[in-house]
Structure 1
Amino acid sequence: MTHWNDADLARVGAAEELDLESERADGTLRTPVTMWVVRAGDHVYVRSVKGTVGPWYRGTRSRRQGRINAGGVRQDVTFRPADHDEYAAVDAAYREKYGRYTSIVEHVLTDRARESTLRLEPR
């Protein structure tokens, strides 16, 4: 596992949104999808509101890598499924960062969304 440098971790974690491009089986990048991103500890995470059946999430499964752009950081990443013991910290990060969107934030806090939690690791 590769770790974020402190500056990039801070910038990506503070970004309001992240653009994610997953790699297709042939190595080309899919069209960017804009989503929320949170930092919990020394990791950054994304989730699909639609869970593991969400189109962009399914796209991350073919090669398990892609590219992100957030907070001025453009980085090739590996998509790692988060462990269940990471979910509580990720939930708390979503509540803290996006809690002002009370009618929306609850959608990323469902069991369905939790199952799609991906840790983004630089490569």
Structure 2
Amino acid sequence: MKTWNGSDLEQIGGAEELALRSERGDGSLRDPVTMWVVRAGDQLYVRSVKGTDGPWYRGTRSRHQGRVEAGGVRQEVAFREADPGVYTRVDAAYRDKYGRYPDIVQHVLTDRARASTLRLEPR
């Protein structure tokens, strides 16, 4: 597993939103999707409100890689399924970072959303 350098981890993890582009089977990038991103420890995570049925999540499953942009950083990434053991830490990160939006943040804390938790790994 590759690790984030400190600067990119800080910039992306601290950004309010992230633009995610997954790769199609032919290697071209899909249109960007804007979403929330959280940092838990030295890792970055995203979730789909619609769970594993969410269109952008399904798009990450074809090649398990793509590109993210946030906080002035553009990075090629691999999308890795998160270990369920980190869900509680990721939940806490969402609450801490986005708790000022209580009516919205609750949607990324459901079992359905948790099942779609992806760890972003630099490549």
Common fold, TM-score beyond 0.5?
yes
CA–CA separation in structure 2 for the residues paired with 1:86 and 1:65: 21
Within a 5 Å distance, the mapping from 1:30-45 to structure 2 comes to 30-45=30-45
Q: 2:60 maps to what in 1?
A: 60
Q: 1:103 maps to what in 2?
A: 103
CA–CA separation in structure 1 for the residues paired with 2:6 and 2:33: 25
CA–CA separation in structure 2 for the residues paired with 1:90 and 1:39: 8
Q: How many residues align?
A: 123
* TM-score (ref. length: structure 1): 1.00
How far the C-alpha of 1:113 sits from its partner, in A, is 0.1
Within a 5 Å distance, the mapping from 1:1-123 to structure 2 comes to 1-123=1-123
CA-to-aligned-CA distance 1:2-55 (integer Å, 9 cap, x gap): 100000000000000000000000000000000000000000000000000000
CA–CA separation in structure 2 for the residues paired with 1:85 and 1:48: 18
CA–CA separation in structure 2 for the residues paired with 1:6 and 1:74: 14
Unaligned runs of 5+ in 1: none
SS at match of 2:25: coil
| RMSD of equivalent CA atoms | 0.3
Give the aligned residue type for 1:4. W
* TM-score (ref. length: structure 2): 1.00
How far the C-alpha of 1:88 sits from its partner, in A, is 0.4
Give the aligned residue type for 2:11. R
Unaligned runs of 5+ in 2: none
How far the C-alpha of 1:80 sits from its partner, in A, is 0.2
SS at match of 1:79: strand
SS at match of 1:16: coil
SS at match of 1:27: coil
CA–CA separation in structure 2 for the residues paired with 1:4 and 1:88: 21
CA–CA separation in structure 2 for the residues paired with 1:16 and 1:30: 21
CA–CA separation in structure 2 for the residues paired with 1:21 and 1:3: 20
